[in-house]
Amino acid sequence: MRIKVKKLKEDAKLPTKGHPGDAGFDFYATETVVFKPGKQERVHTGVAIEIPEGHVGLIWDKSSISFNLGLKVFGGVIDAGYRGEIIMCLLNTSKKEVILEKGHKIAQ
């Protein structure tokens, strides 16, 4: 299956696979985001994808983000008809402020 990907921001990094056999693609933050304890923030990827009709895209936590930083991804469905920017909603489950730097992997 081929999935079309479009850069919406010049400095956006296209999704990548960490290893040849991986099922999912890593998405990257296009800006630095500060998460207060217990608060959620939107994280922009600067990319849009075209899911083939009859399929769905699923967004999941990266274990490194979840375990090391305490950030949890919400709203992980991309419908086939959606053509806008992929924007992730992340929640800081830790008791400390977390800074997610621009270019950091955020979800898969």
Looking at residue 62, what is its pLDDT?
Answer: 87
Tell me: the pLDDT tens digits for 26-60? 999 999 999 999 999 999 999 999 999 999 999 99
Which domain, by its residues, includes 68?
4-10+25-107
Does residue 75 lie in a domain region?
Answer: yes
CA–CA dist 96, 6 (Å, integer): 35
Mean pLDDT of 11-34: 93
Bridging pattern class, strands 105-107 and 40-44? unpaired
Burial group, residue 73, by CB count within 10 angstroms (0-12, 13-18, 19+): buried
**Does the structure show a pLDDT above 90 at 10?**
yes
**For the domain that residue 31 is a member of, what is the CATH number?**
2.70.40.10
DSSP H helical ranges for the chain:
63-64
Q: Say if 18 falls within a structural domain.
A: no
Residue 48 lies in a domain: yes
pLDDT digits (tens, 9 = 90+) for 83-94: 999 999 999 999
Total tally of structural domains belonging to the chain: 1
Average pLDDT in the 95-101 region?
Answer: 96
pLDDT: is 102 or 24 the higher one? Answer: 102
